[in-house]
Chains A and B, each alone.
Chain A
Amino acid sequence: MRIGIGLPNTTPGADGTLLLEWARRADAGPFSSVAVLDRLVYDSIEPFAALSAAAAITSRVRLATMIAIGPLRGAAMLAKQAEAVNTLSGNRFTLGLAVGARRDDYTAAGVDHRTRGATLSEQLAYLRGRGTDGMQVLVGGSSGPALQRMARYADGYAHGGGPPRAFASAATKARAAWSDLGRPGEPALWGQGYFALGDTERGTDYLRDYYSFTGPFATQIAAGNLTTARAIKDFVRGYADAGCEELILLPTVSDIHEVERLAEVLD
């Protein structure tokens, strides 16, 4: 299993300098990829812009959206942005797409929330219709229709987070969908989890805030924050056993030392 690290594009106080230094260190470190999140109505750096910047100062790591909310952008614009990052990075881009979880992102983007699933399918058909060779596409979502969409159009599955057994069960479903659609081989399987090794309280507060729109679930998500070396190691082992191919560990505090702290734990 490869391990990637999230860039701090949604954590409080992150700026361009931090983001770039983070990417630079990740490129030098043991990580196989850097990944970003996507939220419109939240203080954050736009994911394709963040990855374009990261593309310019990295040479090794893959760059991934984990995930980008497809329907917030028109299909052609989405394809344009994705292809731009892929070109700028010399084919190092992995495009993770899903419908996201926030209604207000849709309102702000002026996009119909009700038809988000169908819109994402159309976007994927458009992207794939252009013969986007060399750009890996992942799709997320846990419902049957989402898994079906993944198997119809993507190269693999982007899991939304949770304990290893949740990943294992989603991976089985993703493989079942893959076979149902008659795809050859196996889907790529990517997972993710949050961590904080320095100021763990601050990290957990951020998660509670970031997910406050989910109501009481925010506490559950925050409770899953990996805050000790032991917790991270167990998590990594659990994901590896469950067949994860690439695990992204996402930061919850905007502290550059988190990169080394994580590297040390993984050593």
Chain B
Amino acid sequence: MKVTIVGAGPAGLYLGILLRTADPANEITILERNAPDATFGWGVVFSEETLGALRDADYPTYLEITDTFARWDAIDIHYQGESLRSRGHGFSAIARRRLLAILQRRCAELDVVLRFGVEVDDVAALAAETDVLVGADGVNSVVRRADESTFGASVTPQGCKYVWFGTDLVLDAFTFIFRETEHGLFQVHAYPFDENTSTFIVECPEHVWRRAGLDTMTEQESIAFCQDLFADELGGHTLMSNKSVWLDFPLVRNRLWHSANQAGNTVLIGDAAHTAHFTIGSGTKLAMEDSIVLAQAFVRHPASIESALVDYELERSPTVERFQQAAGQSAEYFRRVGRHTHLEPVRFAFNLLTRSGRITHASLSVRDPKTVATLDSSFAGGRAVTPPPMFAPLELRDVRLTNRAVHQVSTVDKIAGAADTGVGLVLVGPVAVSAEGRITPESSTVDSLRPTTGATVGVLLSHAGRRGATRPPTQGVDLPLPADQAWPLLAPSTLPYTPGSAVPKAMDADDMASVRTAFADAARKAAAAGLDLALLDLAQGHLLASFLSPLTNKRDDEYGGSPEARLRYPLEVLAAVREVWPEDRPLGIRLTVADWARGGLTEDDGVSMAERFAEAGVDLIQISAGHTVPNSQPEYRRGYLTALADRVRNEARVTTLVGGYLTTADEVNTIIGAGRADLCVLEGPC
């Protein structure tokens, strides 16, 4: 088989090696635009699990690579003048230059033809002359760009600026530094890779970068700026540049990684096919694993190149997708890390370590029991022997929840059963403030509330608005009752929820007064029935939520139009309830933080609204999203609301309750421990 590889990065060189060792009859040519020793970047990190794959794939290079490794197991987090060390992480790193030299030598030994100084531009011509053309030409791959539509390529900048320096400061840990400046927050990702040098990547949001004037500085000036900024940590050591310019990290995705047509067989590997944000340090590993799997696929399918390419893609894409998901979360974390700087150091550190979902409370407690013990005890006034965060009590006004797990039940008759599970809070609802506010004929109304002993119980007080008068949810939701059983619906505007739903009446002044009174009366009844906590339902497209969103509130009076006007009625209802709700008991809201629909409320809108409600004195916000309109665009997965909770809690600085399909104690411990929320709805049989 004749294979032409564009790009002599780790992916291309390693593939050359593996194809030759698999079958010496393979003719391999690698074309590289640069000289053999011209390379960007400093050191790259490998994880332990990658090393096993390298050992099995080609033992001689594995030996050479691991011989030169810098190895360490600690992560240091410098933050607010404190430094916290987490252990047990198992890193190794190597200079990119050295890695490439090892791979180049091995290629030469195996008679892979290496041609340096060749810049490829005519991809089609190249493809026509070979059995397989491999695009191993990195982020800006010409091979990919030559056939972008077949590959279904997308390239999206990730929103921060970064620069890749080296330093002669030799670190003994993966080091994160967070530095607050007058321009905003800067962060450093630094790690050792040989006996004299460390990688030192500086990153900040683009607006911070501009404010600091870095957009107009020369390379020398920006080195000086960074050296000055991190003078304490560098301790007299210098930063070194190697074509170190400020860049955007692009997220590269391709719907397909290969194309097989008359023009020939083309396949993408490494960064050309997919990138994973550098903050999870996996790009080189993914690139080399691609090469391993592709080489194996050719062995498995000697008769059909196309089958081999399909096999490669099928095997690699789920793994890569997982890494890209984690990398996306990590990139997002660093883009917004500024909001976390009020967290106490150990929680800040735990939030950082668990940012991409790959480390959890349970897995960290195996790797690094000490950090986890410190975290856990931070929830218990520093006591040494403490249960994990889920079991930390929480005080809201004079109400004490014994733990952070919440069970949400739909009707009053299920409270007792839920209370027996031992959760810190049983939340019942939506409970209708009046008969007209019910979702279905079976919905509980506030009159059915009774005192519960032995449990803390909260109530979600609701008016269903235009989602009312529907059938019970056993057959489906939003199915209108037959006309003879239905009751009239109220909403800010006369828009039915689904095309088949009844048309609601647009509320006039009398309706607004009576619903406001209904909420206040309901709160009084709930208080009298001994409920410990009340939430007003400003979510799920129900009545009060419909006032908030421009999709559902088309009013032209003082309750519609601007964001402030749309907030007015819900705030009035809140004030009326606060007046009658006992001072010593907490009052909160369930809030739609984002509509997840075009033209609707965005996350930013949601965070601003949360701020307004926090100012208005709510003690707790339950995070909700979507359902303002029936055809919203949710992205379901475990914990799909957690990122929103994190924003609301840490930007609007308010106590939050979050669900979003959390089913394990580990998820709850991780969320609470990292300060992404204060309480979690735990799904489960009850």
Contacts and interface: CB of A to CB of B under 8 A. Distances in A.
Given A176-B637, A180-B626, A216-B259, A148 B632 contact: yes
Given A121-B630, A145-B631, A172-B638, A220 B475 contact: no
A165 interface: yes
A69 to B, nearest CB: 19
Contacts of A81: none
B307 interface: yes
B153 interface: no
Contact of B661 (A145, A166, A175, A220): A175
B368 interface: no
B632 A122 contact: no
Interface string A209-246: 00000001101100110000000000000000000000
Contacts of A154: 476
A174 B640 CA distance: 13
Nearest to B304: A219
A144 B633 contact: yes
B306 interface: yes
A107 to B, nearest CB: 22
Interface in A144-200: 144-145, 147-148, 151-154, 165-166, 172-177, 179-184
B611 interface: no
Given A121-B631, A176-B661, A181 B477 contact: yes
A216 B476 contact: no
B477 A182 contact: yes
A128 B310 contact: no
Interface in A117-131: 117-118, 121-122, 124-126, 128-129, 131
Given A117-B631, A121-B630, A216-B256, A131 B475 contact: yes
Contacts of A179: 659, 661, 683
Nearest to B631: A145
Interface string B470-485: 0001111111100000
B318 interface: yes
A153 B314 CA distance: 33
A121 B478 CA distance: 11
A153 B630 CA distance: 12
Interface residues of B, number: 40
Contacts of B638: 172, 176
Contact of A216 (B258, B480, B634): B258
Given A177-B634, A216-B260, A219-B306, A125 B626 contact: no
B635 A144 contact: yes
Contact of B636 (A131, A173, A219): A173
A165 B319 CA distance: 11
A176 B640 contact: yes
B636 A147 contact: yes
B311 interface: yes
Contacts of A125: 478-479, 498-500
Interface in B478-528: 478-480, 498-500
A172 B479 contact: no
B313 interface: yes
Contacts of B596: 144
Interface residues of A, number: 39
Contacts of B241: none
Given A220-B310, A223-B310, A223-B311, A145 B476 contact: no
Nearest to B256: A216
B410 interface: yes
B660 interface: yes
A223 B260 contact: no
Nearest to B309: A219
A145 B410 contact: no
Interface string B602-643: 000000000000000000000000100011111111101000
B637 A182 contact: no
A117 B632 CA distance: 12
B44 to A, nearest CB: 29
Given A175-B661, A216-B260, A183 B500 contact: no
B322 to A, nearest CB: 10
A219 B479 contact: no
A181 B258 CA distance: 39
A145 B500 contact: no
A152 B477 contact: yes
Contacts of A184: 410, 473-474
Nearest to B660: A176
A31 B634 CA distance: 36
Most chain A CB inside 10 Å of its own CB: which residue of B310, B318, B636: B636
A141 B8 CA distance: 41
Given A128-B475, A179-B661, A179-B683, A220 B631 contact: no
A163 to B, nearest CB: 8
Contacts of A122: 499-500
B486 to A, nearest CB: 12
Contacts of A144: 596, 632-636
B661 A219 contact: no
Contacts of B259: 216
Interface centre among B256, B307, B475 (most CB of A within 10 A): B475
Contacts of B260: 216, 219
A131 B479 CA distance: 10
B633 A129 contact: no
A152 B476 contact: yes
Contacts of B661: 172, 175-176, 179-180
Interface string B252-282: 0000101110000000000000000000000
Sorted nearest first, the 4 A-B pairs with minimum C-beta distance are A176-B661, A173-B636, A176-B636, A144-B634
Given A131-B475, A182-B477, 16 more contacts: A117-B631, A118-B631, A121-B498, A121-B630, A122-B499, A128-B479, A144-B633, A144-B634, A144-B636, A147-B636, A152-B478, A175-B661, A179-B659, A180-B636, A223-B310, A223-B311
7 contacts: A148-B631, A152-B478, A165-B318, A173-B636, A179-B659, A182-B477, A223-B307
